Structure 1
């Protein structure tokens, strides 16, 4: 019988109060490439925009972008579409109050989105119709207007840790590595957070997470959040957290060569446990993930393994991914990635993906992509499926 430990809300509140009371000092960043602060920093690059500089001087950082993904499969299940196109507009930013602007301090972080599909099948669910068991760029769905982030981010007093509390996207801190971004990395979720095994909650999940450097190289990241979160009704997640007590919990122990390289040179073990979710129609589960990536010149090779006790996310209990990213291919800001995945989906399913990310000008990104699914779990009569894709992003 599954038994869950539910921390008392008052004890949790006291814990957060004690952690926040230690806040001040310099900023430490435990977020992945898609975390709001990292995305804004990457988009700024060498661009000089007077209005943005004026806002920055007042502690306000803003970002706006539009992204779209298109997919085409050479074969699909009867009644399924051979193509899918989905898009998304995002408004995101942070505000650092006066008195918090020096040496890190705290900031309010937000992200609002409108997710939409131009076809009957969204990009997220396209692989199912093709006969594969998996997800492709899960953010590209048809949820319409929704909240993704609204949390307070606080640097701890020793400058070696960061606390976030509020409405979160757990993929910003769980099982992070450089190529996990659905905007700049692999499209297939087999090469992203959890390698298709972690039973994640939805976005705008109410909770808290804490990352801290234990030594110059060793770190720990832990979090707890609501499993019933609906990003189109975010306020309900607060009530869920304190009354329904269905949680997603994770703790990650890892090594990095330096804080600045934390999601490039990274070896970590993630332990996770999820309670059942009525909203996601998902049973309780638990498991672990191992990940190692190490930058060698322009090469970033990686190996990632996921193991779920019951496979409640997609029915996948084990998953292993091997691959690399080569940075600076043909142009300084372009990169190429290739990876293969094996998944225990009741039968053995294999996935391979190659992509080429291009930075075109100062405000446009374009990524052609090709995927091959061998022995697709949902279409056993088919030996292989080819999926071609294109991803575009324009930002301001």
Structure 2
């Protein structure tokens, strides 16, 4: 395992300098991560012929990220995904958050200055077969409208088995709500190879949480069988795309907990037939949001090497708690109390076939 770091600039108003870390293993896999927003800027993996390609959408400089982006590779928090009307209640106290998603007027991904907009402290852990970066920050009581001072550690690591680790830990001094995810966009054909429609996707999920016109869960938990959301067996994304409005997938799936590897459940497997690349997702989280990048054409995003990302050029598999859980008491609990530890872990395992 090899780890290098370089200075990557600074963010106005934040004293911590920005670093870019490069993690490499002996299998030919390389990952780049910055402590600004815990962003995974690059994942390079070999195909079945040993040819390397960049498989996440992203930029080459800090300046480009500071200009704005649709959460390319970043952490989303304090609460990832949406909260209805930006409101939640704990023990009789109502917390009003920013409604920062213009089309829906809902709160999303922690607000306009969520965890993705901060420079994090960091510590390095080097093991014989793995390297971990431990990013940490303190989110003060009232930040973005949330209650409680939250101490957060987000660990990103690479091991010799081509496994990329995303681990989260948090504690609080007052009751609060927490939902933390990594928001990378993947294209296993290469970040500049165009549509992801030809990828084969398996989701280990028999149920999903339907939403209303504002993308807020109705509270129902419905079966995927017989719908365009059925990925319980491998299916090319294009085959199901015509069965959903606008060809858009942006849905939370309820992970089937029956297929496990230790503490992890299998959430998804993504396969790109032309290159043979496979990405298997395992997690301790209860849900996974499958988003096929339908809105990428809403703005002009020019990524690495000037390539323009269009709709459906990358997809997200965000392991998470369910959207709007603070207002849906029958959903898995997202409340964190003093004395408790929020802890969730996800592995993205890369291979070929």
TM-score when normalising by structure 1: 0.26
Give the helix-richer structure, 1 or 2: 1
Relative contact order: is structure 1 or structure 2 higher (C-alpha 8 Å, sep ≥ 6)?
2
TM-score when normalising by structure 2: 0.28
